[in-house]
């Protein structure tokens, strides 16, 4: 027995040695594997900052909330976003919200609460910049990527800011005198001259002896009123400068002096000097910091355009919307060596312009709406700042409030919509009219051509659990960030 034990002993020893070595090596190897995987995950993981913007009432808030809500549900319900590749390819592992870092939080819960209530209601519109961060874990698509790591994550930062602020960009290149001449010239032409009557009267009035500060306050108040009337229906104009006069944001609210100026061509030298100084201060304290601290960091941009309101309000409003849109597009027309890049090093490499509230028109008009949006943007030339395929035109409805219906007209059925208009309790049928297939002329606005009505959110749609019923939101998301889920 002993002999056997003795013969076995060295082998046992070597085995224990191997075991010991194994015990020592295994955790090291496992740890190395973990580290490698982590490094692979880190190599594949990235942050993408998507900016969502549009003029007031273009539906930014609901769209941002719908985007996030559907993303949160996308793994469990891949049918919710059939055109968002990572969702339909079932590569999403999990989506979770992350705490905010730099900007005020987006009121996601409040919006969802309003939309889920019975009866549901539209959430209040936001007036400043806000952000929402999501961690989207996914399985990489390519074999090579999967060899590096079997999972990766995209940190999606959605930043929502007023489109009005983008309209301020051209101010950076203008002197106070040039801006005043331009703005007053615009205010004196129809249809604005009728809206600017009080302000123009004050500007054109003979000199007063009032202190310059008081004059600046009075004139800026009148000018703000004029801008407000421009934006409101029935005028529904879009080009309002300076944008912060309507949506000041935190900084301007903290220091109202920043907004106490107005365009002026006559007036006392002191008043003129004060106005010019304020104008420069506005640029320095509000416009530049916005582009430097926020805009510069965005990777992708979604610009929402409420083309329907502009169409409904007539040819002037339509042309004005075009002017505003092209002012926004200037940002991307500068090219790689342009002002914005030189000043702030903006790196946005994909922009989607989307006509919102697509549920306010019948589906057979979608192609026309998309084509019209593109025609408006392309009238002023191309975009050297963006690569081929980096500028998209689409349409979305963040929350579908209508159902298709048929209206009988002269014995024939005509496509229409059914929904509960805001301020009413009963369902009605809307025939919204047809979107022109060509670039419209004033003759296109005959009586009864367009009618777009705001509808209440659908009842009992349970967006928190069922997802938000949207139109082409998934396509928009796929265009904006789909390529980052490689």
Per-residue exposure over 334-351, b if at least 16 CB sit within 10 Å of its own CB, e if not = beeebbbeeebebebebb
* 221 near other proteins (CB under 8 A): no
Applying CB under 8 A, the span of 1-9, 193-201, 230-238, 404-412 interacting with other proteins comes to 404-412
Does residue 82 touch other proteins according to CB under 8 A? Answer: yes
Using rule CB under 8 A, residue 422 touches other proteins: no
Provide the mask over 314-353, with x wherever binding to other proteins is found by CB under 8 A and - wherever it is not. Answer: ----------------------------------------
- Considering only the stretches 109-117, 127-135, 230-238, 446-454, report the one whose residues sit in contact with other proteins under the rule CB under 8 A: 446-454
Q: Residue 121 or 429: which CB sits closer to other proteins?
A: 429
Cis peptide before 242 (omega within 30 of 0): yes
How distant is the alpha carbon of residue 119 from its chain centre? 27
Query: Hey, CA dihedral for 105, 162, 290, 298, is it positive or negative?
Result: positive
Residue of 185, 413, 422, 442 that binds other proteins (CB under 8 A): 413
Instruction: By CB under 8 A, tell whether 483 contacts other proteins.
Output: no
What is the enclosing helix (H) or strand (E) of 36? helix 2-44
**376 near other proteins, rule: CB under 8 A:** no
Please give the angle made by the CA atoms of 375, 379 and 380, to the nearest 5 degrees. 140
Q: 108-116 vs 60-73: helix axis angle to the nearest 10? A: 90
- Please report whether residue 110 would count as binding other proteins according to CB under 8 A: no
CA dihedral sign, ordered 60, 462, 132, 397: negative
Residue 287 is given by DSSP the state I
Min dist CB 430 to other proteins, Å, is 5
**Local structure of 470: helix, strand or coil:** coil
The phi-psi region of residue 59 (left if phi > 0; otherwise alpha if psi is between -120 and 50; otherwise beta) is left
Q: Minimal distance in Å, beta carbon 486 to other proteins?
A: 19
Q: Which of 137, 218, 366, 374 is in the footprint of other proteins by CB under 8 A?
A: 366
Count of chain residues binding other proteins (CB under 8 A): 43
Rounded Cα distance between 466 and 357, Å, is 21
- Pick the closer one to other proteins by CB: 135 or 407: 407
Between residues 196 and 308, which has the closer beta carbon with respect to other proteins? 308
| Interface with other proteins, residue 453, by CB under 8 A | yes
Binding site for other proteins (CB under 8 A): 79, 82-83, 88, 358-359, 363-364, 366-367, 397, 400, 403-410, 413-416, 418, 421, 426-434, 447-451, 453, 469, 471
């Amino acid at each position: 027995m002993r002999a056997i034990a003795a013969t076995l002993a060295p082998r046992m020893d070597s085995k224990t040695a191997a075991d010991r070595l194994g015990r020592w090596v295994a955790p090291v190897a496992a740890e190395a594997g973990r580290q490698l995987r982590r490094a692979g995950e880190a190599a594949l993981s990235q942050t993408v900052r998507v900016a969502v913007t549009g003029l007031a009432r273009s539906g930014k808030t609901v769209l941002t909330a719908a985007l996030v809500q559907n993303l949160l549900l996308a793994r469990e319900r891949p049918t919710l976003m059939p055109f968002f590749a990572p969702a339909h390819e079932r590569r999403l592992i999990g989506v979770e919200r992350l705490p905010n870092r730099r900007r005020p939080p987006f009121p996601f819960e409040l919006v969802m609460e309003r939309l889920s209530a019975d009866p549901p209601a539209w959430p209040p519109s936001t007036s400043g910049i806000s952000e929402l961060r999501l961690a989207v874990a996914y399985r990489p698509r390519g074999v090579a990527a999967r060899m590096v790591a079997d999972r990766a994550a995209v940190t999606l930062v959605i930043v929502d800011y007023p489109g009005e602020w983008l309209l301020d960009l051209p101010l950076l290149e203008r002197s106070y005198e040039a801006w005043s001449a331009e703005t007053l010239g615009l205010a004196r032409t129809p249809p604005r001259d009728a809206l600017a009557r009080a302000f123009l009267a004050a500007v054109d009035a003979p000199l007063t002896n009032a202190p310059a500060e008081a004059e600046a306050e009075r004139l800026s108040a009148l000018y703000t009123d004029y801008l407000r009337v421009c934006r409101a229906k029935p005028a529904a104009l879009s080009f309002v400068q300076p944008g912060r006069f309507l949506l000041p944001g935190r900084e301007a609210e903290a220091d109202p002096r920043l907004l106490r100026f107005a365009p002026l061509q006559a007036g006392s030298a002191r008043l003129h000097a004060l106005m010019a100084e304020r104008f420069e201060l506005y640029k320095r304290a509000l416009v530049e910091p916005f582009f430097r601290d926020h805009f510069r960091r965005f990777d992708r941009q979604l610009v929402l355009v409420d083309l329907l309101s502009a169409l409904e309000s007539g040819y002037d409003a339509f042309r004005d919307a075009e002017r505003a849109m092209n002012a926004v597009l200037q940002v991307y027309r500068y090219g790689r060596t342009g002002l914005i890049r030189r000043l702030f090093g903006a790196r946005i490499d994909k922009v989607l312009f989307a006509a919102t509230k697509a549920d306010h028109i019948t589906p057979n008009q979608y192609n026309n709406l998309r084509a019209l949006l593109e025609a408006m943007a392309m009238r002023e030339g191309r975009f050297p700042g963006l690569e081929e395929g980096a500028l998209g035109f689409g349409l979305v409805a963040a929350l579908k409030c209508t159902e298709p219906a048929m209206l009988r007209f002269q014995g024939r059925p005509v496509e229409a919509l059914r929904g509960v208009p805001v301020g009413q309790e009963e369902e009605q049928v809307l025939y919204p009219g047809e979107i022109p297939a060509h670039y419209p002329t004033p003759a296109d606005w005959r009586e009864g051509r367009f009618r777009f009505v705001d509808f209440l959110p659908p009842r009992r749609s349970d967006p928190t659990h069922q997802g938000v019923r949207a139109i082409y939101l998934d396509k928009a998301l796929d265009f904006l960030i789909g390529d980052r889920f490689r």
